[in-house]
Amino acid sequence: FDFAFMDRALELLHEGGVRVDLGTPTAAPPAWLVHQHPDILPMTVDGQVLGFGARESFCPSSPHYRKAAAAITSVLAERYGEHPALAMWHVHNEFGAHVGACYCPTSADAFRWWLQARYGTLAALNDAWGTTFWGQAYSDWAHIEPPRRAPMPTNPAQQLDFMRFTSEEYLACYRNELDVLRAITPTVPVTTNFMATS
């Protein structure tokens, strides 16, 4: 890591009496990470993998992304946790702002586990989703996919659960970094922000 720029910036801010809300850079995974783990790229509802080169280009369920996010957060906390300019930490930036739900195979697997924990049995899931009406009764967890683009609107109960799951995945991403910061800098406040959409 090359911290020369950050070191100088924090020194200047401190000298000027400015306190810092230091953000983690996890909203914009670097090119090398995407090159090493292309599976972190998000997939749209249409099955299109989104490319690199913009913020938020990651799948919130990706273990490779979460591991890298925790690692850089740890490095920053170790280096700047006791810096006199540090007022608080800012985790990520605008969770889910540009890429909401991810429909990739990693998300599909995580969704199935989430559904098993939520419903316990396929019978309970089929009942909650009203799958008899939709002609989609499930007999195996492996048959369940995210509500990707289909010839007509997909089951609204499935869509709602997928949005709940997605929300919890972003919360898990936040907590992934929060836990690191609390372990290293337990007295420094932590915040984040969201981007509201209509």
Q: What is the pLDDT of residues 131-144, one digit of tens each?
A: 988 788 999 999 99
If one counts every other C-beta atom within 10 angstroms of the C-beta of residue 83, the result is 16
Alpha-helix residue ranges (DSSP H) falling in 81-155: 105-119, 122-129, 131-134
Provide the mean pLDDT of the chain: 93
Cβ neighbours of 117 (radius 10 Å) = 8
**Both structure tokens of 152:** 């007509």
- Predicted local distance difference test score (pLDDT) of residue 64: 97
| Predicted local confidence at residue 197, as pLDDT | 56
Task: Round to whole Å and give the CA distance between 25 and 41.
Answer: 16
Rounded mean pLDDT of 73-97? 94
- Once rounded to an integer, what is the mean pLDDT over residues 8-35? 96
Phi and psi of 70, rounded to 5°? -65, -40
Q: What is each CA distance from 11 to 20, 71, 72, 76, 197, in whole angstroms?
A: 11, 24, 21, 15, 37
> Looking at residues 32-37, what average pLDDT do you find?
95
CA 78 to chain centre: 23
